[in-house]
Amino acid sequence: MKPSLIVPLILPLAVAQTQVQSVAQAERIDVFPVQTHHRSRVQASIWDSSSPESPLHPSSSSSNSTHSDGPPVGYTGLKAVRKKILTARKRTDRSTLFDQASIADWEPTDEWRDGYSRKDIEWEEVEVIGPDVSDLDTVVNLARMANDAYALPGDARWAELERFNLTVPFGWEDGGMRGHVFADETNSTVIVSFKGTTIDSGRGKSTARLDRLNDNKLFSCCCGGLSKEQCGCEKRGVLPGKKRTCLSMCVRTGLYDSESYYPEAIKLYLSLLSLYPSAQFWLTGHSLGGSLASLLGLTFGLPTVTFEAVPDRLSVQRLGLPVPADRRFNPVTHVWHTGDVIATGNCRGPFSVCGRAGYSIDSVCHQGNLIIYRTVEKWGWPLDRTTRSHTIQYAIDNVYSKPWNQGETDDRKGRERDWTDVPVAEGEDESCEDCTGWTYI
């Protein structure tokens, strides 16, 4: 199963990631202006906010400009910030953990499969340009890109408005990992969007079987234990007094087989990187696609914004991926609302809507930065025990696009927040635990 991505996007790339020297805090620097007129083509190059020609500084004669600290009315886009992240390197030779030279023939080494312990690695601080997740338009437009991973241009659910200069689909000829690659007109920024779980994939070969297989291997306590175990890694009666025991290395090895999405995502990224070695890559996705983007982003230190992702900490630990102790240096940001039964980790057990459909979604805890829309606590929503509020289009229309902090006081600045604010990023509850009824050996 190989991603169907062979064609180059547009032109050779120009902008590379830079090594960090010292940046005290995230600094807003760039905007991708994206026209919202119906079927308009995109002027999507990165603009320097210090330039007088930048949409951040429209001329006083501009008829469609109403304020000086944002793009002209009639435009919406993706704002970016410089931020520091930590990337893991091998302590022995300072090489990156994932700098495989071969692309098409890449296979996980024993070292990769075994994972890396803290004694094997050291952290390097680097500076990247990533999405400004405090900006409403940026969050909504990335969510629309995540939505587009489910469709092809011309389909009813395709979000026509926020396209970059060119999109390239991948996986639409296969029944597996699927999505789109978006690029600006200079290919200096490339955004990869991964599709989540679908029962009926619509156009293209159905992905339903492999979606469910990957859900169960990534997010169950031991490869799915409802109607059928996926990997044969559970051992019963090994330890007295423990109801269920799972072989950790068996589960991890199963995540690299020919039907697993994680190694295919790595191959896709390495293929894109070989074509465009100077690009700044961003990742996004919804549900399973968001969790897959998170794993890839953490693997390579790529700015990642996910939407209603399945809680991913269990799969991160299962793969042995190094995670920065301070979440502020983590490249991954998860966006979700508390009415979503899947993103909140409440779709567990055989009688849940997930269990009845054959999905063992046992994971509860997220890793990284969390932007949580507390729709249950603030808006009085019930926890939706169906998957209706989990869908990306529902979240865009009813959550992400709505005013959130209107009328509230920003304690940090002592003033009222602007209505376009999104919730402030936070970390996972320290008391959160996955699979407490299991023992791993």
Q: What is residue 244's predicted lDDT score, i.e. its pLDDT? A: 82
Q: Residues 65, 287, 291, 363: which is the catalytic one?
A: 287
What are the structural domains of the chain?
Answer: 18-25+133-440 (3.40.50)
* pLDDT for residue 38: 26
Residue 309's pLDDT is 98
Q: Residue 134's closest CA among 281, 284, 28?
A: 28
* pLDDT tens digits along 159-171: 865 556 567 899 9
* DSSP letters spanning 360-420: --------SEEEEE-HHHHH-PPPBSSSGGGSHHHHIIIIITS--STT-EETTTTEEPPTT
**Using H for helix, E for strand and C for coil, what is the string for 6-35?**
CCCCCCCCCCCCEECCCCCCCEEEEEEEEE
Please tell me the predicted confidence (pLDDT) of residue 32.
42
Q: What's phi and psi for 104, nearest 5 deg?
A: -65, -30
pLDDT for the residue 408: 55
Give CA 152 to chain center in angstroms: 20
Encode burial over 186-208: b for 16+ CB neighbours within 10 A, e otherwise. bbbbbbbbbbbbbeebeebeebe
CA distances, 405 to each of 37, 193, 337, 369, 425 (Å): 28, 28, 14, 19, 14
Q: Report the alpha-carbon distance of residue 357 to residue 353 in Å, rounded.
A: 6
β-pair partners for 334? 306, 370
Active site residue 102: no
- pLDDT of 410: 53
Please tell me the predicted confidence (pLDDT) of residue 123. 86
pLDDT at site 109: 62
Q: Which tokens in the block code for residue 148?
A: 């587009």
91 — phi, psi (to 5°)?
-65, -25
Q: Which residues of the chain have pLDDT under 50?
A: 1-76, 100-104, 407, 420
CB of 369 closer than 8 Å to CB of 327: yes
> What's the predicted TM-score (pTM) here?
0.80
Residues 25-49 have pLDDT tens digits of: 344 434 343 332 222 222 222 222 2
pLDDT for position 107: 63
- Helical residues (DSSP H) of 237-322, grouped into ranges: 248-254, 261-275, 288-300, 313-319
* Alpha carbon 248 to its chain's center: 25
